[in-house]
Amino acid sequence: MKKGINGKTKIIGLVGENIKNSLSPYIHNRIIVKYSLNFCYLPFQVKKADLNNAIEGIKALNIKGVNITFPYKEKVIGFLDEVEESARRIGAVNTIVNNEGVLNGYNTDVVGFKRSLQEVGEFTVKRKKAAILGGGGAARAVIYSILEEGIEEVYIFNRTLEKAGKIKQDFSSFFPESSIYIFPLEKESLKDKINKAHLLVNTTSIGMPPQVNNTPLPDEKLFHPNLLVYDLIYHPAKTLFLKQAEEAGAKIINGLPMLFYQAIESFYLWTGLKPEGKELLEVFR
C-alpha cells in the first residue's frame, strides 16, 4: 500500500470554537506517523449554532471519532447516543468514538491528569490533601481524578462559589471516604488550606494570554517547598503562577503532560493502539 492519505484513511479530529492554536492536531498526527497508521487528525472549527449538525456529521461522514474542546464539552452530551459513567458524572465529554453509527462519549482528561501526576509528578494521591483553584469543566475532571485515586481532603476555591458547591454536591456521594470543602478564591481562606496541602492545582484560565501577567493566587508567600504545584495551562509553558511556585522551592508541572496523556487515551479509544507514554512525551517538550 502506498504511504499517505488514500481511500481507506480513517478520519479523526478536534471540534471546538477557537482551535487555531491547539496542539492536538500536531500531537495526534505525530503519533500516526510514528506508528504508520492509516489515520489523519483534522481540526474542525465549529460555530455554536452548528454544533448539533457537526456532531450528526460525524455519522454521516463516517468519521471515526473526535476530541471535543472548549466550550462544547458539556453541551455535546445531549447529542450523543451513550456516555461512559465517569464522563456522565463529571458532566463533560472530551472524546467521541463513532462505533458504526453509535456515538459514545468519554472523558479522557481524567486519565490524562492521573497519569501526568503519577508519571511526571511522581506523586501518589492516596491520603494526601489537595487545593484546587477553579470550578469549571477542567476542575471537575481534575477533582474527579484525585477522588478516584483516594485523596483524603479536597479544598475547592472558586470565584463563583455556587459552582464549587455543585461539584461537592455532585461528587460527594460517589466518594464517601474523601472530604470536599469549598471556599471563595480569597487570600484568607487560601492561606490555611494551602499550608496543609500537598498538591495545588490551577484549573482557572488566569495566566493564559492575554492574562499572562496575572496569577490566580493573591499572594506568592502562600507557596511552600512541600507542594507539588500544577498549572493546567501549557501556553505559556511557565505561567507567573508556576514561576512564583518554583522560586518558593515547590516542584512544578505545566498542562502539557495532561494534554499529552489525554491525547494518548483518546488515540487508544479510536485506534486500539496505546502509544508509549513518557518516552513519546519527551519528543514534544
Site for ligand NAP, residues 6 to 45, rule: CB under 6 A: none
Residue whose CB is less far from ligand NAP, 12 or 185: 185
Closest CA to 55 of 25, 78, 30: 78
Bond before 71 cis per omega within 30 degrees = yes
Among 30, 59, 88, 159, binds ligand NAP (CB under 6 A): 159
Site string for ligand NAP, 175-214 (x = CB under 6 A): ----------x-----------------xxxx-x------
Kind of pairing, strands 65-68 and 251-253? unpaired
Residue 189, Cβ neighbours under 10 Å: how many? 16
Among 13, 65, 136, 275, binds ligand NAP (CB under 6 A): 136
How many CA within 13 A on the CB side of residue 94?
24
Smallest distance from ligand NAP to CB 14, Å: 13
Which DSSP string corresponds to 203-225?
-SSBTBTT-TT--S-S-GGG--T
**Set 8, 48, 59, 73: catalytic member:** 73
Closest CA to 200 of 277, 119, 146, 260: 146
Identify whether 187 is a catalytic site residue. Answer: no
Counted residue by residue, the chain has a size of 285
* Site size toward ligand NAP, by CB under 6 A: 26
One-letter amino acid at 23 equals L
Residue whose CB is less far from ligand NAP, 59 or 166: 166
Site for ligand NAP, residues 71 to 130, rule: CB under 6 A: 109, 112
Smallest distance from ligand NAP to CB 100, Å: 29
| CA atoms of 260 and 120, how far apart (whole Å) | 11
Please name every residue paired with 231 in a beta bridge, in sequence order, or none if there are none. Answer: 202
Kind of pairing, strands 65-68 and 95-99? antiparallel
| CA atoms of 131 and 185, how far apart (whole Å) | 11
Residue whose CB is less far from ligand NAP, 29 or 69: 69
Among 160, 172, 195, 226, binds ligand NAP (CB under 6 A): 160
Rounded alpha-carbon distances, angstroms, from residue 278 to 57, 120, 134, 257: 35, 8, 28, 9
Among 13, 65, 105, 137, binds ligand NAP (CB under 6 A): 137
Site string for ligand NAP, 208-227 (x = CB under 6 A): x-------------------
Binding site for ligand NAP (CB under 6 A): 70, 109, 112, 134-139, 158-160, 163, 185, 203-206, 208, 232-234, 255, 258-259, 262
Residues with a catalytic annotation lie at 73
